[in-house]
Copies of this chain bind each other. A is one copy, B any other.
Amino acid sequence: MSREDFGEEGARPFAFFRAGARAEPGVANKPILVLEDVYKYFRVDQPTLRGVNLTVERGEFVFVTGPSGAGKSTLLQLIYRKHTVDDGRILFSGRDIARLTERSIPYLRRNLGIVFQDFKIIGHWTVFENVAIALEILSMPRRLVRARVAEALERVGLSGRGDALTDTLSGGEQQRVAVARAIVTEPALILADEPTGNLDPHLAIDVLTLFEEINATGTTVLFATHDHSLIAKRDHRLVSIDEGRVVESRRGLTTWAGGLHSVGG
């Protein structure tokens, strides 16, 4: 009898990691995310990631930065199993995500809140529907869905826009819909890929603050961004991807010298 045949239990290795439900004592001590010597080759001659080692503790807030094409998005994609690692392994709450069966992947992703760099929102759906889908996937009752979507939209500054078609929104508004969808499920880990690229500085700070508030409730946040003014304003751990490797730039605001060039060199 294979692992897949254990039914619901076998297919849901991560069901107990929803943010509000961390009763199991052994799990709470483990780091939520461990990358061990991760390689990813898109072209054989030129790996995008070559030996990434990174440990993220439960409840951390981590900035991920690096030049364009460095592999920030690739790193996040490996975590949500859009791609699989070519070498090394990634442990999410102690489990190797490379060894998940096809049927288990949805249950991994339900523990994640992802803001995609290209938003991945459905233009011909309303704002409400785009956010609500994340909760509908969890089979949440409609009344609860309405309440939580409204709350999430308010947090990103889009309250009252729920009925608008997403196609008719401005770039920044669309990006905030993507953010709302990522936070509405109260996931254990948020993977935010450039979530402020289309926002003005005020809103960018607002969204960053929003993620920090969520982080304060125990959610782990990986925040990939180019925006050095954001990074400089906050005292979070910062990892840079450069030449396919991860460089720990600082653990506190004081140890970081500033611009990216001083880090990568």
Name A residues whose Cβ lies closer than 8 Å to a Cβ of B.
Answer: 42, 65-74, 117-118, 168-173, 176, 193-194, 197-204, 226, 228-229, 259-261
Contacts and interface: CB of A to CB of B under 8 A. Distances in A.
Given A198-B226, A226-B198, A203 B67 contact: yes
In the complex, the count of this chain's copies comes to 2
A193 B110 CA distance: 34
Contact of A198 (B42, B172, B197): B197
A117 B171 contact: yes
Contacts of A198: 68, 117, 194, 197, 226
Contacts of A169: 69
B67 A202 contact: yes
Contacts of A176: 68
Contacts of A71: 170
Nearest to A171: B117
A68 B168 contact: no
Contacts of A202: 67, 260-261
Given A67-B200, A68-B176, A71-B170, 5 more contacts: A42-B168, A69-B170, A70-B170, A118-B171, A171-B197
B68 A170 contact: yes
Listed residue (A118, A170, A194) with the most chain B CB atoms within 10 angstroms of its CB: A170
Contact of A171 (B168, B172, B194, B228): B194
